[in-house]
């Protein structure tokens, strides 16, 4: 009887694990709408390393809006980071009760729209100047095995957007618990959500990160 109860408990736990929603899914990284195949031309590979940069310019798993695999080659992740967006949103998300939901844009545009992952426009708004300007640049020196003395795998640098910092306020009418993006001209932001569970999801994601960093994703 005791053994039967244990088996039933394990089966119930397994069923729950499959059917239960995962809060982390709403803030998991997703692929951008398009992939830039020219980015690897700016990489400077270490000639002493074997295959420091992937030969395939587009990752095999690429699918616009889909989840990015946890096992993705770091060179592809760095390729996405090389395209520094002009739009800066709170990627942890915004609370449903937030009276103001600000985001920032670098440039001269004065209007924006909010779209879903399919590109459908859900709302529009205006941008106003903060009176501040900014500029940025970014260099990545990729490592290999931390146990080796020569850790450099490749180096890649980019210049980020510069200009006037504009601020916008996300409309209160936007849907909740759904991935959204801000669009200004042809520029599209990273995903964000509006939810009363924002910070619990950040907690879950942080715990997952710390668990993996401890001794591998096992």
Output the tens digit of pLDDT for each of the chain's 218 residues: 545 444 444 444 443 344 444 556 777 888 888 899 998 999 999 888 888 899 999 999 999 888 899 889 999 999 998 888 999 999 889 999 999 999 999 999 999 999 998 889 999 999 999 999 999 999 999 886 655 566 788 999 999 999 999 999 999 999 999 999 999 999 999 989 999 888 877 777 788 778 877 766 55
Which pTM does this prediction carry? 0.76
Q: Which helix (H) or strand (E) holds 168?
A: strand 163-169
CATH of the domain at 37: 2.60.40.10
The answer to whether residue 10 sits within a structural domain is no
Which residue range forms the structural domain that includes residue 196? Answer: 28-215
Domain membership of residue 167 (yes or no) is yes
Domain assignment present for residue 20? The answer is no
DSSP 71: T
Question: Do residues 61 and 29 lie in contact, with contact meaning Cβ atoms separated by under 8 Å?
Answer: no
DSSP per-residue string spanning 126-156: E-EEEEEEE--EEEEEE---TTSS----EEE
Domain tally, the chain: 1
Quote the tokens at residue 161.
Answer: 């957007």
């Amino acid at each position: 009887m005791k053994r039967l109860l244990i088996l039933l408990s394990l089966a119930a736990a397994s069923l729950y694990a499959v059917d239960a929603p995962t809060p982390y899914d709403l803030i998991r990284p997703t692929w951008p709408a398009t992939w830039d195949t020219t980015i690897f031309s700016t990489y400077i590979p270490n000639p002493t390393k074997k295959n420091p940069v992937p030969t395939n310019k587009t990752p095999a798993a690429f699918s616009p809006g889909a989840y990015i695999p946890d096992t993705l080659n770091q060179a592809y992740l760095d390729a996405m980071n090389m395209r520094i967006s002009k739009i800066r949103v709170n990627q942890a998300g915004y609370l449903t009760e937030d009276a103001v939901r600000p985001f920032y844009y670098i440039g001269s545009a004065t209007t924006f729209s909010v779209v879903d992952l399919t590109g459908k426009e859900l709302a529009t708004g205006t941008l106003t100047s903060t009176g501040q300007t900014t500029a940025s640049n970014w260099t990545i020196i990729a490592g290999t095995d931390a146990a080796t003395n020569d850790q450099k795998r490749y180096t890649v640098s980019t210049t980020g957007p510069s200009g006037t910092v504009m601020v916008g306020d996300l409309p209160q009418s936007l849907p909740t618990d759904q991935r959204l993006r801000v669009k200004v001209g042809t520029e599209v932001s990273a995903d964000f959500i509006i939810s009363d569970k924002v910070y619990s999801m950040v907690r879950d994601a942080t715990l997952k990160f710390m668990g993996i960093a401890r001794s591998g994703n096992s």
